[in-house]
Structure 1
Amino acid sequence: MPEVREFSLPDLGEGLTEAEIVRWLVEVGEVVAVDQPVVEVETAKAMVEVPCPYGGVVTARFGEPGDEVPVGSALVTVAVGSAAGGSPQGAAGAAAEAAAEDGVEAGSGNVLVGYGTSTSAGGRRRRARRPGSDSGGAGAREVAAAGAPVAVEAPVSGPVAVISPLVRRLARQHGLELARVRGSGPGGLILRADVERAAAARTPEPAPVVPAVAAAPAAERVPLRGIRGAVAEKLSRSRREIPDATTWVDADATEFMAVRRAMNAAGGAAAGSAGSAGKVSVLGLLARICTAALARYPELNATVDTEAREIVRLPEVHLGFAAQTGRGLVVPVVRGAQAMSAARLSAEMARLTEAARAGALTPADLTGGTFTLNNYGVFGVDGSTPIINHPEAAMLGVGRIVPKPWVHEGELAVRQVVQLSFTFDHRVCDGGTAGGFLRYVADCVEQPGVLLRDL
């Protein structure tokens, strides 16, 4: 008899207490190897595949895509060692038999024992789990004995044999009296499969003809959970706690764009002798300007400890940048950005952006930022008043770079113009500091040679 083991959602770190099931990677009855991923989940930080530490046959799985699963609650049960006895079909049969005989501890989801116990094949009495508890619930997929008889019979006296809320609801939906359904589980336990067979065996009554009536469109409700829920909570907390202010300036980015082209041309010319050089992106060069500005104004690379009533100035710049993905906005973090060149910053931001869009970021990639760079110009807009990424103290926003009429050297000309906006926590500094930071960034954009003084 194989041993049935339960695998629960492990602690995913970073203080996360729950995850949402995205998709199952295994089916009930499937043979799995040790450390094989069995489910993909989405936390408030990232999407991850969860590996199972047991090898054998999956006898049950708990929850459906979209369900929130607390840390420590059951994900699957595995009949350990079942696959060693022969073919997958034989292994699955053995697992099903094990689940039928050992249904309560196997977590098959078949039981809500009104009497509190069931008896296994070995004669031991075990306390039943309640569906909906941390170890499973109505979302569990049941393992039914193959070939169980279809039975709708005369009502029995006394209490109905032990059933789960899922089975009760299914019986109500089909208009069945559970007292007339014969259970195929241990001790006459009524399973979901018994109700479905009993419903199928009944002769369906013709549905009444109802005149068609146009129904009013229902309002759509979208759950605030996963990444979307985490973003909502963080932004709401920022608005509640941070007295923010925003200042902005238009800058002539013509020389900035010319310098970037020159950097990339120089990198390409050197590729033949020094290997392929990475391109410097607009965002990477702006990130380098930000780290130089934060070196001049370190009070903006900070956080506020509200309980201690202290401003905590941080020694390193962990630069976050907003990245739009199919699952919502995320903010990957480049750690130790103050020590990186424009080319290295560009490469690291490109790597993290690709990982974000593939759903492959880890919780560590999305936490610990000290300052955020937000390039909303990619959406074709000029300006914004961004919300600070709590618990940081400031955020630089960058609009699109577009040709505009501009007075250059006393004459009207068409120049590449960008709007820069700077939102800051007024608790960490006054407007003079914030204005000085933004003016330095704008000067570096207009005259990139200013940046060379700090390199």
Structure 2
Amino acid sequence: MSVTMIKEFRLPDLGEGLTESEILSWKVAVGDTVSLNQVIAEVETAKAVVELPSPFAGVIRELHEQPGTVVEVGKPIVSFEVADDAGPAPAGHAAPSRGVTPAGQRASGEEPAAPKREPNLVGYGAVVESSGRPARRPRNLPPVERSGDTTPAGAAPVRIEPAETIVIEARAGVPSGDRPRSTPPVRKLARDHGVDLALVTGTGPAGLITREDVQEFLRQGSAGQAAAPAGQKRAGGQGERETRTPIKGVRKHTAAAMVSSAFTAPHVTEFLTVDVTPSMELLAKLRGTRTFAGLKLTPLTLAAKAVLIALSRNPSLNSRWDEANQEIVTFNYVNLGIAAATPRGLTVPNIKDAHALTLEQLAEALALLADTARSGKTAPADLSGGTMSITNIGVFGIDAGTPILNPGEAAILALGAVRSMPWEYRGEVALRQVMTLSLSFDHRLVDGEQGSRFLADVGAILAEPGMVLTMV
């Protein structure tokens, strides 16, 4: 019988101080043997879907949370059975050797073990020891609990039979935010009867939901409001007049951000309709060149480049209102946000240092951003730190709108559909390609003159790309 111990893995902060994540799916089951950094789960934060790698090599002993459950950062989500020397050593410290004789004592003359490297909890693979470069560690991650660290000095190591499982019950007095608190057996009882624990009032210590609470809920005949396994409260089947879906994940975050932005920043929206025929002709020429062969070139590509050039001439639109310090922060770089409609809701990933990219590089970055957003794999870091955004409503056939600012940004530009319309051209009426630009900006940061000049610059570039020569 080998010497093993149980180690818990607690949900880490997956970026930007997020407080909770939803377990979308488990990639492992109880009894599976996993390796270090093997993907064990897919979780959804308020901003993105993230694959969660294993911090240990060992055997899965218990999955504490079921798919569809929203879990707070720091809560145990899975327990591993590992060898007593497995797991990450504290950062910057050498892990002492854990060689043990049959009597539980250290073997005589045993050399200390080599320093251990902490596994990458939110990365994509174990750190390669042979690399001469320092390892990159995710920021803001809580330390992983090591059950062996609490063993008194000189005590024999914990020995666990392969069939044993440690069940960690919920403890009274531990706050759990908005997620209903209950024990694993009670959650199983609720799942078996289709009960949504969010609708059950807990009578246990600190609001803990007990087995009796679930049974009382069933006796009252309220189970009609139970949740479907996929997280939809009511399936809207035959005879149902409404469907209820929990507000969580990306949509919950987006709603809170938009409400905060709309009622914090004084929005002003201006419109400009532009003859973009020269830009459409330029795109057609570029698609036939060797440089842009295989690249997806769209009106958004040229509009993004026009925005970057216009921002260099109108820096107030690339700034932030710092309420806490009563300062206006003007950015000397551009992290350009692109609003993306995904199956899980609206996200605004941004292209870091977009101002430094050529048109070719910008086209590549836009294509990668779109593919990543559609697949739901945008990294949390790419969803924060934006300085200005573009939303392309024209792809939906819409001409204009009043976009809401992405929180913390001074401006957002909406691109309307490109339409063939009768237009005044060289003193005559001709059929031209026309687009409407809608610019919303924070009037605390941007005066009407500054916003108008920026919008005029963008329009001038799209109306005649050669005007760039007079601006840079």
What TM-score do the two structures reach when normalised by structure 1? 0.72
Task: Classify 1:53/1:279 alpha carbon distance in 2 versus 1 (closer, same or farther; 3 Å).
Answer: closer
Please tell me the residue identity of whatever aligns with 1:225. K
Secondary structure of the equivalent of 1:441?
helix
Please tell me the residue identity of whatever aligns with 2:54. C
Tell me what 1:37 maps to.
39
Compute the displacement of 1:34 (Å): 2.4
Tell me what 2:387 maps to.
370
Distance 2:273 2:55 in 1: 56
The answer to whether the 8 Å contact 1:57/1:95 transfers is: no
The answer to whether the 8 Å contact 1:279/1:343 transfers is: no
Tell me what 1:401 maps to.
418
Structure (1 or 2) with the larger CA radius of gyration: 1
Q: Any unmatched runs of 5+ in structure 1?
A: 83-92, 100-105, 113-128, 145-163, 176-213
Distance 2:329 2:283 in 1: 35
Task: Classify 1:10/1:260 alpha carbon distance in 2 versus 1 (closer, same or farther; 3 Å).
Answer: same
Task: Classify 1:371/1:168 alpha carbon distance in 2 versus 1 (closer, same or farther; 3 Å).
Answer: same
For residue 258 of structure 2, the aligned residue among 235, 241, 247 is: 235
Compute the displacement of 1:346 (Å): 1.1
Compute the displacement of 1:167 (Å): 4.9
Please tell me the residue identity of whatever aligns with 1:346. A
Q: Any unmatched runs of 5+ in structure 2?
A: 85-159, 189-207, 220-236
Tell me what 2:81 maps to.
79
Distance 1:310 1:283 in 2: 32
- CA offsets 1:154-210 (integer angstroms, 9 cap, x no match): xxxxxxxxxx966556777999xxxxxxxxxxxxxxxxxxxxxxxxxxxxxxxxxxx
The answer to whether the 8 Å contact 1:131/1:165 transfers is: no
Indicate the percent of aligned positions where both proteins have the same amino acid. 37
Tell me what 1:336 maps to.
353
Is 1:311 the counterpart of 2:328? The answer is yes
Task: Classify 1:172/1:349 alpha carbon distance in 2 versus 1 (closer, same or farther; 3 Å).
Answer: same
Pairwise mapping of residues 15-26 of structure 1 onto structure 2 (< 5 A)? 15-26=17-28
Compute the displacement of 1:138 (Å): 4.2
Tell me what 1:350 maps to.
367
Tell me what 1:46 maps to.
48
Pairwise mapping of residues 196-345 of structure 1 onto structure 2 (< 5 A)? 217-265=240-288, 267-268=289-290, 278-345=295-362
CA RMSD of aligned residues (A): 3.0
Question: How many residues matched?
Answer: 357
Compute the displacement of 1:67 (Å): 1.4
Secondary structure of the equivalent of 2:312?
helix
Please tell me the residue identity of whatever aligns with 2:48. A
Tell me what 1:59 maps to.
61
For residue 399 of structure 2, the aligned residue among 382, 401, 408 is: 382
The answer to whether the 8 Å contact 2:321/2:329 transfers is: yes
Please tell me the residue identity of whatever aligns with 1:334. I
The answer to whether the 8 Å contact 2:335/2:351 transfers is: yes
Compute the displacement of 1:222 (Å): 2.4
The answer to whether the 8 Å contact 2:316/2:446 transfers is: yes
- CA offsets 1:341-374 (integer angstroms, 9 cap, x no match): 2221111011011111112111111110000011
The answer to whether the 8 Å contact 2:181/2:209 transfers is: no
Tell me what 1:446 maps to.
463
Please tell me the residue identity of whatever aligns with 2:7. R
Secondary structure of the equivalent of 2:77?
strand
Secondary structure of the equivalent of 2:378?
coil
For residue 451 of structure 2, the aligned residue among 425, 434, 439 is: 434
Distance 1:136 1:308 in 2: 37
Tell me what 2:378 maps to.
361
Distance 1:46 1:253 in 2: 35
Compute the displacement of 1:333 (Å): 0.6
Compute the displacement of 1:453 (Å): 2.7
